[in-house]
């Protein structure tokens, strides 16, 4: 317990931005997120910076792009920047025919309107498989809308189907300026970052050197802000950023956060594939008597899941691979499950999917993040988070409402035997799993997926 106290002291020494609890809105569903995003875009006066893995060429994506361009035409001085992953924007969907991807969609809009907006492609690595822009946060004037969601039909619940995430709106000029400054000075000004809505753009090969320089810079980057005093009626906000294995401050603080728990930890992750250090902190927390709740999407709620009735592709094996990990973890910790100290909850709601991530500790700290808490996030992708320090539990009711909504469609796993094993999988999946284990590729896959 002494180590947990030391970790808590480390968290309490982190610099914070002061925030009034009444200026944090927790949205509880994807539809509300979509409506709030459109509302804030329509009311923007000075700036709109949207950062996401992708802005998709579909109904929801086109609606967002239309809203942005209409705002720009109405107010040409409005500073609008959309930042997406460079590689993801220039390819089609997995399994689709080769295409110019969403970049063609961005060019189409650029050719339609008089006043342009910047759609910038950010390359974190030379190849998508080895790292992407997984930064989150939409800055609109003095607000930060933070979610792990990208911008397309399913994330924005466009057609009566949704991918469930978390959604928070902070009205805080210091936080907005801090995150905006990083976008402007570190990302927008990099020679590796190029406009995607232009007909002529460099190839990845020609900017390899610039990509390497950007990645080196990002590996030691941090959000810059002045430390503020937090009074008894405020919570503290610590924005964090991280990339890579060695100097990753976000990874370090995630471990410190888990290591600080004395009573309870709740974790959400869509892909059950914890990094080694996270697994270690969970194991240590169980040893010191901490109650742990882990909320995971059922394999059928995974965004890669394909029903057995449809043609099988290799990528559809991923949800089963994560379930194999979960069953093994549950079996190893069966005693803690039986005692009620470890609670595993599987989320499933009709044909919708699960994309939640985040950590709650001792009703005093909450981390909102796009980090999937898997080895890929830990080593390859550019990730960020906002750590909320709530010493006086001012957000207790708001947090409870969010967690109650998350738990609404979950089923508790009371034994590892409740989780399907490989023998029950469709034949194509069983063959794939055997092949993966035979060539010992499972370890490699877990590092990049």
Residues 312 and 420 in one domain: yes
Q: Is residue 423 part of a domain?
A: yes
- Cβ atoms < 10 Å from Cβ of 89: 26
Q: Is residue 243 part of a domain?
A: yes
Find the helix packing angle between 318-332 and 427-438, rounded to 10°.
70
Q: Is residue 5 part of a domain?
A: no
Structure tokens at 22: 């009444």
DSSP E strand stretches across 215-303: 235-242, 264-269, 291-297
Structure tokens at 260: 């600080």
**Residue 364: its pLDDT value, please?**
97
Report the alpha-carbon distance of residue 387 to residue 360 in Å, rounded. Answer: 10
With residues binned 3-state (H G I as helix, E B as strand, rest as coil), the percentages for the chain, rounded to 5, are 40, 20, 40
Q: List beta partners, residue 358.
A: 268, 368
Residue 243 belongs to a domain with what CATH number? 3.30.870.10
**Residue 432: its pLDDT value, please?**
87
Q: Is residue 331 part of a domain?
A: yes
The residue out of 170, 190, 219 marking a domain boundary is 219
Considering only CA atoms, which of 395, 403, 258 is closest in space to residue 345?
403
Rounded to the nearest 5 degrees, what angle is found at the Cα of 113, between the Cα atoms of 109 and 114?
Answer: 145
Structure tokens at 227: 């430390």
**Mapping DSSP to helix (H, G, I), strand (E, B) and coil, where does residue 45 land?**
coil
Number of structural domains found in the chain: 2
The HSE-up count of residue 118 (CA atoms within 13 Å, CB side) is 21
Structural domain boundaries enclosing 76: 22-219
**Residue 378: its pLDDT value, please?**
95
Residues 288 and 212 in one domain: no
Q: Is residue 175 part of a domain?
A: yes
Catalytic residues: 134, 165, 355, 383
The residue out of 168, 185, 219 marking a domain boundary is 219
Q: Give Cβ neighbours of residue 59 (< 8 Å, ≥ 6 apart).
A: 153, 158, 159
Q: Is residue 3 part of a domain?
A: no
Considering only CA atoms, which of 155, 133, 176 is closest in space to residue 44?
176
Residues 362 and 328 in one domain: yes
pLDDT in tens, the chain (449 residues): 689 999 999 999 999 999 999 999 999 999 999 999 999 999 999 999 999 999 999 999 999 999 999 999 999 999 999 999 999 999 865 544 455 789 999 999 999 999 999 999 999 999 999 999 999 999 999 999 999 999 999 999 999 999 999 999 999 999 999 999 999 999 999 999 999 998 889 999 999 999 999 999 999 999 999 999 999 999 999 999 999 988 899 999 999 999 999 999 999 999 999 999 999 999 999 999 999 999 999 999 999 999 888 888 888 889 999 999 999 999 999 999 999 999 999 999 999 999 999 999 999 999 999 999 999 999 999 999 999 999 999 999 999 999 999 999 999 999 999 999 999 999 999 888 888 776 555 555 555 45
What does 190-210 look like in DSSP terms, one character per residue?
A: -TT-EESSSS----TGGGHHH
Q: Is residue 17 part of a domain?
A: no
Q: Is residue 9 part of a domain?
A: no
């Amino acid at each position: 317990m002494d180590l947990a106290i030391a970790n808590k002291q480390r968290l309490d020494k982190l610099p914070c931005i002061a925030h009034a609890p009444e200026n944090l809105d927790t949205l509880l569903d994807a539809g509300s997120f979509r409506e709030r995003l459109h509302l804030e875009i329509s009311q923007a006066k000075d700036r709109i910076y949207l950062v996401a893995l992708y802005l998709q060429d579909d109904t929801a994506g086109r609606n967002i792009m239309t809203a942005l361009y209409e705002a720009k035409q109405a107010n040409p001085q409005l500073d609008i920047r959309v930042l997406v992953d460079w590689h993801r924007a220039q390819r089609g969907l997995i399994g689709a025919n080769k295409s110019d991807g969403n970049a063609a969609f961005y060019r189409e809009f650029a050719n339609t309107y008089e006043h342009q907006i910047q759609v910038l492609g950010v390359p974190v690595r030379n190849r998508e498989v080895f790292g992407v822009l997984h930064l989150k946060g939409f800055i609109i004037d003095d607000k930060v809308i933070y979610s792990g969601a990208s911008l397309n039909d399913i994330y924005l619940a466009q057609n009566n189907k949704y991918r469930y995430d978390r959604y928070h709106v902070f009205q805080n000029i210091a936080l907005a300026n801090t995150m905006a400054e990083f976008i402007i000075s570190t990302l927008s000004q990099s020679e590796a970052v190029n406009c995607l809505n232009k007909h002529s753009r460099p190839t990845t090969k020609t900017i390899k050197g610039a990509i390497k320089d950007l990645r080196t810079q990002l590996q030691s980057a941090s959000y810059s802000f002045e430390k503020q005093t937090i009074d008894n009626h405020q919570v503290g906000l610590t924005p964090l950023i991280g990339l890579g294995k060695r100097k990753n401050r976000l990874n370090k603080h995630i471990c410190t956060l888990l290591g600080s728990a004395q009573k309870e930890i709740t974790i959400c992750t869509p892909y059950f594939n914890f990094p080694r250090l996270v697994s270690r902190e969970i194991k240590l927390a169980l040893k010191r008597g901490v109650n742990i709740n882990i909320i995971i999407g059922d394999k059928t709620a995974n965004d890669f899941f394909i029903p057995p009735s449809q043609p099988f592709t290799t990528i559809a094996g991923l949800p089963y691979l994560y379930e194999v990990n979960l069953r093994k973890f549950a079996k190893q910790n069966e005693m803690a499950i039986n005692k009620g100290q470890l609670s595993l909850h599987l989320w499933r709601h009709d044909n919708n999917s699960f994309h939640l991530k985040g950590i709650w500790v001792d009703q005093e700290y909450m981390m909102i993040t796009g980090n999937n808490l898997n080895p890929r996030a830990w080593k390859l992708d550019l990730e960020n988070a906002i750590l909320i320090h709530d010493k006086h539990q001012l957000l207790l009711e708001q947090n409870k409402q969010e967690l109650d909504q998350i738990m609404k469609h979950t089923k508790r796993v009371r034994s590892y035997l409740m989780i399907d094993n490989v023998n029950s999988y469709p034949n194509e999946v069983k063959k794939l799993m055997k092949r993966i284990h035979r060539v010992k590729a499972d370890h490699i896959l877990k590092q990049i997926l």
